[in-house]
Amino acid sequence: MAQQQQAFEKQEATKAHLDDFIRRFRAKASKAKQAQSRIKQLERMAELSPMMADNPFSFQFYEPANMSSPLIELTNADIGYSETPLLHNANVQVTPDTRLGLLGMNGAGKSTLIKALVGELGVLTGKYRVSDTLKLGYFNQHQMDILDAKATPIEMLRRLAGKTSDAMLRSFLGSFDFRGERIDTPSELFSGGERARLTLALIVWQRPNVLVLDEPTNHLDLQMRQALTIALQGFKGAVVLVSHDRELIANVCDELYLVHDGIIEEFDGDIGDYGKWLAEKRKQENASDKNTGKKKK
């Protein structure tokens, strides 16, 4: 009976997250088409609540302590490497309400834009400014790769947590399914999925007000992806997301930017429209490749 009650409470919490998310979208008249698409996505997601009730992952992002607006701003920025611009005249503003999904073909420059937003890559021209209140949570493959290989999850969390009790740290790590001996196992023995979960756990603990996530689900299984989606929906800060998981973008982002041909611009449509755009571009490229091959002959 206790287990059934816990499952029920988890389902109700999940539904509350979804209801709040839908209300937030419906309030944005300018995003009516995207809102309707996401409402359908969330309705389908609600049908998965029995699976969520048995999900070993159950975490949420802490509410940010302090935020001003804008938190990150790129203005008329050329971005690239070795003085060669890959992206031109980029204008991106991240405010506390930002829920931005970055779209574009492989190699278009999405990760380059991400690096500029987090300050890893300086702009060639234009301006890059961040707020004094910015507290960044940045996830990418590199963050997973630089985890201390010899340290255990609780040792890495302890470095961030100061005097927090072991019981609280273990409970927190348990919400990311690090339990028993896995809490005390060096990360060098972890799978890709475990390293991704640990990286996310360390980000969550630091209470960011901006999440910049570059392909966060690549190593995650279905249940962890669902838990991450629910957690992102409940996050009270800004989100900038790059992902091949279109359902994650559809369920989390209410603004889409397209990176293509060196330009960054708002995408007028939803994630389904983007799928059609992408298919058409690939069709055009294939036709161009065939024509080039004929000319060479």
- Does residue 79 contact residue 91 with C-beta atoms inside 8 Å? no
Residue 61 vs residue 41, higher pLDDT: 61
Mean pLDDT of the chain: 86
Q: How confident is the model at residue 170 (pLDDT cuts 50, 70, 90)?
A: very high
At 131 the pLDDT is 97
pLDDT digits (tens, 9 = 90+) for 219-276: 998 888 988 988 898 889 999 999 999 989 988 888 999 999 999 999 988 888 999 9
- Does residue 22 contact residue 14 with C-beta atoms inside 8 Å? no
Residue 52 vs residue 288, higher pLDDT: 288
Indicate the fold that domain 2-135+207-296 takes in CATH: Rossmann fold (3.40.50)
User: Is residue 262 left, alpha or beta, with left meaning phi > 0 and alpha meaning psi from -120 to 50?
Assistant: left
At 137 the pLDDT is 96
pLDDT digits (tens, 9 = 90+) for 192-215: 999 999 999 999 999 999 999 999
Q: Domains of the chain: which residue ranges? A: 2-135+207-296
- Which residues have a Cβ under 8 Å from the Cβ of 148 and sit 6 or more positions away? 155, 156, 187
At 79 the pLDDT is 97
Residue 47, pLDDT above cutoff 60? no
Q: How many residues does the chain have?
A: 297
For residue 186, what are its two tokens?
A: 């060096």
Q: What are phi and psi of 204, to 5 degrees?
A: -60, -45
- How far is the CA of 212 from the CAs of 87, 100, 248, 291, in angstroms? 19, 10, 14, 40
**192 three-state secondary structure:** helix
